[in-house]
A and B are shown apart, each in its own frame.
Chain A
Amino acid sequence: MSTDPLLRIRDLRVSYPAAGGMAEVVHGVDLDLAPGERVALVGESGSGKSVTARAVLRLDPDARLSGGIELEGVDLLGLPQRRMREIRGGRVGLVFQDPLASLNPVMTIGRQVMQPLVIRGVSRRVARRRAIELLERLGVRDAEHRVDDYPHQFSGGMRQRVVIAIAVIAEPALLIADEPTTALDVRVQARVLELLHELAAERGMSILLITHDLGIVAGFAERAVVMRHGRAVETGTVDQIYNAPRHDYTRALLAAVPRIGGDVTRPLAVIGAAGNAPEEEES
């Protein structure tokens, strides 16, 4: 791995205010992301993967963060809010899970895609041109006219392309994709992942893919970090994780991926069986 990562997370701890004090939900996660690298952050619901990703951008004002998050050598935890705003959408883009809910229903697609540029001082004409080009690149047909449509006039897959366009139009160095395909049907899922892959390759952009679905990780990411109960239980290349998982939890997750030709009558492995407490096996 490069000695000069794009993103370096060290001993990240995230706590939220709860009844009777603070509840820690992420207990010391380490993560490195090289420029242009695609890393998957895998785990079940509640494993802390989304919280970790949101912490990178300091999106939750209630969350208390400790540890270190460095982006391009800059310590994000120490940045004032003003500088943080430049990072959001500028250096780091974020794609949300639900493409309809994350689009403003009363703003045209074009203005939403242009917005990250417009708020950074790019003229409307230039921003509009670039929005149309980007949407076309992402496979939105007749983008020239469709930019004046509203989100409800787009299909689910097209909306997700719009959301991706918003996230990448300001040419961030890092794209965080939080379950970007969960709300989409399988065929559209594959196409959206393909597009993300292509964009990353074209722009030298790194991607942090957050997912619960190990099935989509293999074709997409180079490395994966498996999270459980707020800890990274296993880190490695995708090959390692698929072919030689070291942690029982990873093995159980892999066993849960449905396979064509697999024995569908076999009972699923019990995740979190005795002797598999995550505290005992930190990598």
Chain B
Amino acid sequence: MSAHAAAKPRTRRRVPVVEGIALAVAALVVLMAVAGPLLAPYDPYAVDLSRSLLPPSAEHWLGTDSNGRDVLSRVLYGARVTLPATLVVIAASTLIGLLIGTLAALGGKVVDEVLMRITDIGLSLPAIILALGLAAALGPGLSSAVIALSLTWWPGYARLVRTLVREVKDAEYVDAARVMGVPQGRLIFRHILPNALNTLYVQTTVDVGAVMLVISGLSFIGVGAQVPSSEWGAMIAGEANNLTNAWWAVAFPGLALLLTALAFNLVGDWLRVRNDPTIRQEAR
């Protein structure tokens, strides 16, 4: 009886600690991306070979890389490269996915069939191969990586949107709205999509981490951001040879990548709960 009473307040904990930390990390990364230049103690591109590969110290908190550049400054600037590139990929794929998925779900059998076969083709293209091809065609660079990734990322969203819209469009409340004379456009934008998109939000937020990793991966293998850039994957690639004698030059951009991806995953999950009014009710 007393054990039960003692346990009760603990189960009613109101602050989601893990989500709070994740949100803080995600916010920090966004802040880094926005205010990096103000926070960075050094010029991230200033080469000083006399100060190369210094371990972390009071002067260089995260040490220096083989070219004597301050790792902290480069990690801070890196957020400005990786994050916007990721958001562009997510935004572009969401837009394409929404359009294709909704058209497929509502456009009838033939439209559905054609769009889904195109989507299948898209799904079968590996991002890395397409990026390599695009890098060959357009020249290597972050924009090639972003284009390649957008072109391979949307089919997943198109499929998801199609499934969600098909599920919602037969819901009784959509029928009820139609019965009240609600025109087709409003039916789609006010009734079908808002109910279908909760799941998509979550997917996109969770995908921020994944896209970030692929962009950095592409930079790492040399088809993404190029050499002086402080993109995290490119930083890791540039210093990979020094891993044994100067771990900091590789570990800190790696850690930044890991924490950011993890934070966005957790935030995505938390958003799902927050955005679903029925789940919110149960949580109260």
Q: A residues within 8 Å of B by Cβ? A: 57, 59, 85-90, 93-94, 96, 98, 101-107, 115-116, 119-120, 150, 152-153, 163, 166-167, 170
> Do B190 and A96 have beta carbons less than 8 Å apart?
no
> Do A153 and B195 have beta carbons less than 8 Å apart?
no
- Interface mask (B43-62 → A, CB under 8 Å = 1, otherwise 0): 00000000000000000000
Using A85-B183, A166-B180 as known contacts, list a sample of 9 further A-B pairs with CB atoms less than 8 Å apart, ordered by residue number in A.
Answer: A59-B178, A88-B180, A94-B179, A104-B195, A105-B195, A105-B278, A106-B198, A116-B180, A152-B277
Label chain B's interface by main secondary structure: helix
Distance in angstroms from B209 CB to nearest chain A CB is 26
> Do B277 and A96 have beta carbons less than 8 Å apart?
no
A85 (CB) vs chain B CBs: closest residue: B181
Contact (A106, B194) CB under 8 Å given A101-B172, A152-B277, A153-B281: yes
Q: B283 interface residue, CB < 8 Å from A?
A: no
What are the residues of chain A within 8 A of B178 when measuring CB–CB?
59, 88
Q: B residues within 8 Å of A by Cβ? A: 171-183, 186, 190-191, 194-195, 198, 277-278, 281
16 sampled A-B residue pairs with Cβ under 8 A: A59-B175, A59-B178, A59-B179, A88-B178, A88-B181, A89-B181, A94-B176, A94-B179, A94-B180, A101-B172, A103-B173, A104-B191, A106-B198, A119-B183, A120-B181, A166-B180
Q: Which 5 A-B pairs have the closest CB atoms?
A: A89-B180, A89-B181, A102-B176, A101-B172, A88-B181
> Do B194 and A107 have beta carbons less than 8 Å apart?
yes
What are the residues of chain A within 8 A of B194 when measuring CB–CB?
104, 106-107
Q: How far is the CA of A89 from the CA of B173 in the complex (A)?
A: 14
Distance in angstroms from B235 CB to nearest chain A CB is 42
Contact (A104, B173) CB under 8 Å given A152-B277, A152-B281: yes
Most buried by A among B181, B183, B278: B181
Distance in angstroms from B116 CB to nearest chain A CB is 23
> Do A96 and B181 have beta carbons less than 8 Å apart?
no
Most buried by B among A59, A87, A89, A167: A89
What are the residues of chain A within 8 A of B173 when measuring CB–CB?
101-105
B198 (CB) vs chain A CBs: closest residue: A106
Q: How far is the CA of A4 from the CA of B190 in the complex (A)?
A: 39
Q: How far is the CA of A89 from the CA of B181 in the complex (A)?
A: 6
> Do B179 and A57 have beta carbons less than 8 Å apart?
yes
Label chain A's interface by main secondary structure: loop
> Do B182 and A115 have beta carbons less than 8 Å apart?
yes
Q: How far is the CA of A152 from the CA of B279 in the complex (A)?
A: 10
Contact (A102, B181) CB under 8 Å given A107-B191, A152-B277: no
Q: How far is the CA of A93 from the CA of B176 in the complex (A)?
A: 10
Q: How far is the CA of A44 from the CA of B177 in the complex (A)?
A: 27
Q: How far is the CA of A94 from the CA of B178 in the complex (A)?
A: 11
Distance in angstroms from A43 CB to nearest chain B CB is 21
Distance in angstroms from B107 CB to nearest chain A CB is 15
> Do A119 and B176 have beta carbons less than 8 Å apart?
no
Q: How far is the CA of A89 from the CA of B186 in the complex (A)?
A: 15
Q: How far is the CA of A106 from the CA of B276 in the complex (A)?
A: 8
What are the residues of chain A within 8 A of B198 when measuring CB–CB?
106
Q: How far is the CA of A167 from the CA of B180 in the complex (A)?
A: 7
B172 (CB) vs chain A CBs: closest residue: A101
Q: How far is the CA of A102 from the CA of B171 in the complex (A)?
A: 8
Q: How far is the CA of A89 from the CA of B281 in the complex (A)?
A: 31
> Do B176 and A90 have beta carbons less than 8 Å apart?
no
Q: How far is the CA of A93 from the CA of B277 in the complex (A)?
A: 28
Q: How far is the CA of A243 from the CA of B277 in the complex (A)?
A: 50
Contact (A115, B177) CB under 8 Å given A104-B191, A104-B195, A105-B195: yes
What are the residues of chain B within 8 A of A115 when measuring CB–CB?
177, 180, 182
Choose one: B177, B195, B281; the contact of A106 (CB below 8 Å).
Answer: B195
